[in-house]
Amino acid sequence: MTKKCIEMRWHGRGGQGAVTAAMIMAEAAYYEGYRGVTAAPFFGAERRGAPIIATTRFGREPIRTFSLVEQPDIVVVLDETLLRVVDVSAGVGPEGIVIINSAKEPGAIRLKNAVNVATTNATEWAKEAGLIISGAVIFNTAILGGVARATGLISLESIEKALRNHFPGKAGERNVEGARAAYAGTSILQECKLACA
């Protein structure tokens, strides 16, 4: 399905980096040649560990919509435990896809709505790449590789460029390594048919 604007919704917990991932994805979309890109967090009274939402939109033309994404084409779930408390598939159309940080195969994931699912064990790939700070695995950037593989809308090269721009030096290379591993380790239930005009 060809759309003028691709809308993404990110689900994570406070402190997991969903907002940062949404911004880096917008930057990667710009490098990919999309001229309309936005990224926005949605905060309420959240605290560390509470469910949060961020959004990314990208298209070939300027985007003037900044509201909450209610009918996403792509949903990215950073924390699999959110599936028990949040309907992450809400609003996703028949051509949409939900990408989950999980070691499970896509067919083993059960959501409230019948949608296409992709999984990538971003936590494991980030750990292997050395993305650990104060004992916590930082997997929000690794999952960007999984998004590139699952959707085909933004290349791994553009993701890598955005990561290197955001994290200079060795930190950037570790983030790129994690994204590459997630890209290679992504499993998809069905080929994603989204396209942007």
Task: Give the pLDDT band (50/70/90) at residue 42.
Answer: confident
Query: Which residues neighbour 169 within 8 Å (Cβ) at sequence distance 6 or greater?
Result: none
Domain edges within the chain: 2-188
| Closest-CA residue to 120 (of 178, 34, 60, 192) | 178
Q: Tokens 């926005």, residue?
A: 40
Cβ count within 10 A of residue 50? 11
More confident residue, 45 or 193: 193
pLDDT in tens, 92-146: 988 999 999 999 999 999 999 989 999 999 999 999 999 999 889 999 999 999 9
167 three-state secondary structure = coil
Cβ count within 10 A of residue 105? 11
Q: Angle between the 169-184 and 142-151 helix axes, to the nearest 10 degrees?
A: 40
Assign domain 2-188 to its CATH architecture.
3-Layer(aba) Sandwich (3.40)
pLDDT (0 to 100) of residue 131: 95
